Amino acid sequence: MGATKTTLFTKEQNDLALMAKAIAHPARIAILQHIVQTNTCICGDLVEELGLAQPTISQHLKELKNVNLIEGIIEGNSVCYCINKETWAAFRKFLNAFFVPVKINKKCC
Amino acid sequence: MGATKTTLFTKEQNDLALMAKAIAHPARIAILQHIVQTNTCICGDLVEELGLAQPTISQHLKELKNVNLIEGIIEGNSVCYCINKETWAAFRKFLNAFFVPVKINKKCC
DNA sequence: ATTTATTATTGTAATTTTGCAATATCTAAT
DNA sequence: ATTAGATATTGCAAAATTACAATAATAAAT
Instruction: Note whether B106 contacts A: Cβ–Cβ < 8 A.
Output: no
Positions of chain C reached by protein Cβ under 7 A: 4-22, 26-29
Q: Which amino acid residue lies closest to nucleotide D4, measuring CA to C1'?
A: A77
Whether the pLDDT of residue B109 is over 80: the answer is no
Cα torsion for A22, A24, A30, A31, to the nearest 10°? Answer: -20
pLDDT of residue A56: 97
Alpha-carbon distance values, A11 to A16, A35, A43, B43 (Å): 8, 29, 34, 25
Instruction: Tell me the residue range of the domain where B84 lies.
Output: 9-97
pLDDT of residue B21: 98
* CA nearest neighbour of B102 among A105, A38, A24: A38
pLDDT of residue B106: 57
Instruction: Note whether B81 contacts A: Cβ–Cβ < 8 A.
Output: yes
pLDDT of residue B44: 83
Residue B67 lies in a domain: yes
Q: CA–CA separation, B63 vs B103, rounded Å?
A: 36
Here the CATH number for the domain that contains residue B46 is 1.10.10.10
pLDDT of residue B27: 98
Which chain A positions have a beta carbon within 8 Å of B14's beta carbon?
A: 26
Residue B84 lies in a domain: yes
Mean pLDDT of chain B: 92
Average pLDDT, integer, range B49-66: 96
* CA nearest neighbour of A69 among A45, A94, A104: A94
Q: Lowest-confidence range among A63-72, B54-63, B72-81? A: B72-81
Instruction: Note whether A92 contacts B: Cβ–Cβ < 8 A.
Output: yes
Give every residue of chain A whose pLDDT is below 50, as ranges: 109
Residue B105 lies in a domain: no
Predicted confidence (pLDDT) per residue in B3-30, tens digit: 999 999 999 999 999 999 999 999 999 9
- Residues 15-54/B with CB < 7 A to strand D: 21, 24-25, 27, 52-54
B74 touches strand D (CB under 7 A): yes
Residue B31 lies in a domain: yes
Q: CA–CA separation, A17 vs A73, rounded Å?
A: 28
Phi, psi of A63 (to 5 degrees): -65, -40
pLDDT band at residue B105 using 50, 70 and 90 as cut-offs: low
Query: Domain count of chain B?
Result: 1
Residue B102 lies in a domain: no
SS3 assignment, position B81 = strand
Residue B108 lies in a domain: no
Residue A106 lies in a domain: no
Work out the minimum CA distance from B105 to partner chain A, whole angstroms: 7
Which chain A positions have a beta carbon within 8 Å of B30's beta carbon?
A: 9-10, 13
Residue A14 lies in a domain: yes
